[in-house]
Chain A
Amino acid sequence: MSLLEFRDVTVDYASNEGPIPAVRGVTLTLERGEVLGIAGESGCGKSTLAATVLRLLPANAKIGGEVMLDDVDVLTMNWGKLRTVRWAEAAIVFQGALHALNPVQSIGDQIAEPIRLHKTAKDVNARVAELLQQVGLPASRAKSYPHQLSGGQRQRVMIAMALACSPDLIVADEPTTALDVMVQAQVLDLLTGLVRDLDMGMVLISHDLGVLGTTCDRIAVMYAGQVVETGAALEIFDQPKHPYTKALAGAFPRVGDPTARYAPAGLPGDPPYPGDIPSGCAFHPRCAIAIEACATTTVELVGGVRCIRVGA
Chain B
Amino acid sequence: MILSTRDLKVAFGPVRAVDGVDLDLGAGEILALVGESGCGKTTLARTLLGLVKPTAGTVSFEGKPLDYRKLKQYRRQVQLVLQDPLGALNPRHTVYDAVAEGIRIHKVDRQAGRLGRTDGGPQGDEQELVADALSRAGLRPPERFFLRYPHELSGGQRQRVVIAGALVLQPRVLIADEPVSSLDASVRGEILGLLLKLREELGLTVLVVTHDLGLAWNIADRVAVMYLGRIVELGPTADVLQSPQHPYTQALLSVVPDVERTEQIVLKGEPPDPARIPSGCRFHPRCPVVMEACLTTTLPVLTPDAGHHTACLRVG
> Could you tell me which A residues sit within 8 Å of B by CB distance?
41-42, 150-152, 177-186, 189, 207-211, 213-215, 234, 237-238, 247-248, 250-257, 260-270
- Chain A interface mostly: loop
Q: List 19 A-B contacts (CB under 8 A).
A: A42-B155, A152-B270, A181-B252, A182-B252, A185-B264, A208-B257, A248-B185, A248-B186, A251-B188, A251-B189, A252-B257, A253-B217, A254-B259, A255-B213, A255-B214, A261-B217, A264-B215, A269-B186, A270-B155
A266:B193 contact, CB within 8 angstroms: yes
Contact of B218 among A211, A214, A234, A260 (CB under 8 A): A260
Contact A247 B186 (CB under 8 A): yes
**B189 touches which of A183, A186, A267, A270 (Cβ 8 Å):** A267
Q: Is B90 an interface residue (CB 8 A)?
A: no
B190 touches A266 (CB 8 A): yes
Contact bitstring B238-277, A, C-beta under 8 A = 1, else 0? 1001100000000111011111010010110010000000
* A270 to B156 Cα, complex, angstroms: 8
Give B252 Cβ to nearest chain A Cβ, in Å. Answer: 6
CA distance in complex: A209, B192 (Å):
18
Interface centre among B154, B186, B187 (most CB of A within 10 A): B186
**Contacts of B257 on A, CB cut-off 8 Å?**
208, 210-211, 213-215, 237, 252
Min CB gap B188→A, angstroms: 5
Indicate whether A214 sits within 8 Å of B184 (C-beta atoms), given known contacts A182-B36, A262-B218.
Answer: no
Are B253's CB and A255's CB within 8 A?
Answer: yes
Interface size range on B against A: 35 or more
B279 in the interface (beta carbon within 8 A): no
A164 to chain B, nearest CB (A): 24
Cβ-closest chain A residue relative to B188: A251
Closest chain B residue to A256, Cβ basis: B242
8 Å CB interface, B166-194 against A: 182, 184-193
| Cα A9 to Cα B78 with chains together (Å) | 51
CB distance from A154 to the nearest CB of B (A): 12
Contacts of B213 in A (CB 8 A): 181, 255
Once the chains bind, are A270 and B154 in contact (CB under 8 Å)?
Answer: yes
Is there an interface contact between A266 and B189, defined as CB atoms closer than 8 Å? yes
A208 to B215: give the CA distance in the assembly, Å: 13
Whether A42 lies near B184 (C-beta < 8 A) is yes
Instruction: Report, nearest first, the 6 A-B pairs whose CB atoms are least far apart.
Output: A266-B189, A210-B257, A267-B186, A251-B185, A266-B190, A264-B192
Note all chain B residues with C-beta closer than 8 A to A256.
Answer: 217, 241-242
Known A151-B37, A178-B182; 15 more pairs at CB < 8 Å: A179-B37, A182-B267, A207-B184, A207-B185, A214-B261, A237-B257, A252-B214, A254-B214, A255-B241, A261-B217, A261-B218, A264-B218, A266-B190, A266-B193, A270-B156
A178's closest neighbor in chain B, by CB?
B182
B2 sits at the interface (CB 8 A): no
Secondary structure class of chain B's binding surface, majority of residues = helix
A252 cross-chain contacts in B, Cβ below 8 A: 185, 214, 257
A255 CA / B249 CA spacing, docked (Å): 13
Cα A215 to Cα B259 in complex, Å, equals 11
B87 CB to nearest A CB, Å: 14
Cα separation A261 to B236 with both chains bound (whole Å) = 13
Instruction: Indicate whether A209 sits within 8 Å of B185 (C-beta atoms), given known contacts A182-B251, A270-B156.
Output: yes
Among A238, A262, A267, A269, the most chain B Cβ lie within 10 Å of the Cβ of A262
B219 at the interface (CB under 8 A from A): yes
Judge whether B196 is part of the interface by a CB distance below 8 angstroms.
yes
Among A181, A262, A266, A269, the most chain B Cβ lie within 10 Å of the Cβ of A181
- Closest-CB distance, B184 to chain A (whole angstroms): 4
- Residue B255 contacts which of A185, A250, A262 (CB distance < 8 angstroms)? A185
A256-B217, A270-B156 known; A185+B266 contact, CB < 8 A:
yes
Q: Please give, as numbers and ranges, the residues of chain A lying within 8 Å of B241 by CB-CB distance.
A: 255-256
CB distance from A256 to the nearest CB of B (A): 6
Contacts A182-B251, A252-B185 known; A263 to B266 CB distance under 8 Å? Answer: no
CA distance A186 to B271 in the complex (A): 13
B186 / chain A contacts, CB cutoff of 8 Å = 41, 247-248, 251, 266-269
Complex Cα–Cα for A252 and B196 (A): 17
B211 CB within 8 Å of chain A: yes
**Bound form: Cα–Cα A112–B186 in Å:** 40
Name the CB-closest residue of B to A174: B182
B101 within 8 A of A: no
Contact between A180 and B37, CB atoms less than 8 A apart: yes
In this complex, which of A42, A209, A266 has the most chain B Cβ atoms within 10 angstroms of its Cβ?
A: A266
Q: Are B190 and A181 in contact (CB under 8 A)?
A: no
Interface residue? B38 (CB, 8 A): yes
- How far is A177 from B83 in the complex, measured between Cα atoms in Å? 14
Question: Which chain A positions have C-beta within 8 A of B143?
Answer: none
Say whether A255 contacts B256, CB under 8 Å. yes
Chain A residues whose CB sits within 8 angstroms of the CB of B191 once the complex forms? 266
Which partner residue on chain B sits nearest A254 by CB separation? B258
Residue of B nearest to A184 (CB): B255
**Nearest-CB distance from B132 to chain A (Å)?**
22
Are A268 and B266 in contact (CB-based, < 8 A)? no
- Partner of B259 from the list A151, A184, A211, A238 (CB cut-off 8 Å) is A238
Is the beta-carbon distance between B218 and A266 smaller than 8 angstroms?
A: no
Name B186's closest neighbour in chain A (CB-CB): A267
State A177–B154 Cα separation when bound (angstroms). 20
**Which residue of chain A is the closest to B178 with respect to CB atoms?**
A180
Q: Verify A181–B218 contact, CB threshold 8 A.
A: no
Residue numbers in B under 8 Å from A270 (CB-CB): 154-156
A268 to chain B: which residues have CB within 8 Å? 156, 186, 190
Expressed in whole angstroms, the minimum distance between the Cβ of B247 and any Cβ of chain A is 13
